[in-house]
Amino acid sequence: MSGSAVDEYYPGLEGVIANETAIANIEGKDGSGGLEYRGYRIEDLADSVSYEETAFLLLHGDLPTASQLKDFDQRLKASRAIPEALVGLYKQIPASIHPMDVLRTSVSVLAHYDPDVSAPPSDHAANVRKAERLIAQMATAVAYRERVVKGLPLIAPDAKLDHAANFLHMVSGKVPSAVVRQAFDVSLVLYTEHELNASTFSARVTASTLSDLHSAIVAAVGTLKGPLHGGANEEAWKVLERVGAPENAERWIEDALARKERIMGFGHRVYKKGDPRAAILKRYCASIAREIGDDRWERIAEPIERAVTTQKLLPPNVDWPSARLYHYMGLGIELYTPIFAMARVAGWAAHVIEQLDHNRLMRPRARYIGPPAREIKPLQER
């Protein structure tokens, strides 16, 4: 490679602009950090719209009208069923397999049954239809696999329930309270999209080869599985479990910081002054804790959050409160990252569609640091 500016090396591609997008902005209006979906602030979206409206916004470019939302909701509900062959596969896959591995397989299998499976990769309308179906199907897939692993009978989707309530009902067998349903719905809204994070970048790279939308989503699911990305919410809960009780929190975090231990759920590659999603979910954690009459985990989390924020200058990210929120809802830790995925699929799909609509094959360069050019010696001389 030449000695020009193109040779600059950015570990982890930090700060490198690899795409232009009209989907999400994480710089905020003054460049200090924020989150907007197609120009709408996440704080406003979380307070005002449902996950279905958010998914429509990402896939179709703007928030829906009442009639558009009604039609979109009907399409999602009509797409909730998954093939019996996939359900049968869940019963054959060992229960010990990580749910994200099963979800990755699920998306691949769903591709074979999609009505638009033969559509060209660049067919915008077909890709939107595929995306809408996947939003509905992935939620069913996560819920069904959970029931199978626990040896419980499957609960069919309920068309009377919205996306958030239906999922919780399919997992637990209970229709959630209004407070729980709203909190879960908000968490889905907050997880729906986040610009060019690792899994979204993976999806766009896959799509840039003119592969299909399902293949790109499979790549994204595999990327999200990692504990430095989607799996961070699982690790955040394990931190709270290790502490165990509010009276242990102060001493535990002092010892952890003295050991220079990394506390999962804090810090963000982009948000240096705090993740706006974490602040929103923290409020919902408090309200759900009050509803169930147990604020123990809030009292454990608070001194840890305060110490890491003040001493390490690492504010919490969205994974820190979401771990507690899902625990309050009775959701097992194995579901945390799959829930992230079933929310984020709307954002992934929007990016895949945007990539295919204005495609250029992604082919970055690497700086070579191996040995210089050398000649091959005959075998007997090596």
Catalytic residues: 268, 319
Report whether 22 contacts 38 (CB < 8 A). yes
Query: Which three-class secondary structure string do you get for 258-271?
Result: HCCCCCCCECCCCC
For 172: left if phi > 0, alpha if psi spans -120 to 50, otherwise beta; the answer is alpha
**Sequence-ordered list of residues with C-beta below 8 angstroms from that of 25, at least 6 positions apart, any chain:** 34, 35, 36, 39, 195
User: 63: exposed, middle or buried (C-beta count within 10 Å: 0-12, 13-18, 19+)?
Assistant: middle
Using CA atoms, how far apart are residues 16 and 14, in angstroms rounded to an integer?
Answer: 6
Using CA atoms, how far apart are residues 260 and 269, in angstroms rounded to an integer?
Answer: 19
Using CA atoms, how far apart are residues 352 and 370, in angstroms rounded to an integer?
Answer: 35
Report whether 83 contacts 110 (CB < 8 A). yes
Using CA atoms, how far apart are residues 87 and 296, in angstroms rounded to an integer?
Answer: 38
Within the chain, where are the H helices? 42-48, 51-60, 66-78, 84-92, 99-113, 124-149, 163-172, 178-191, 198-208, 213-224, 232-243, 246-258, 276-292, 296-311, 319-328, 336-357
Q: Which amino acid appears at position 80 of this protein?
A: R
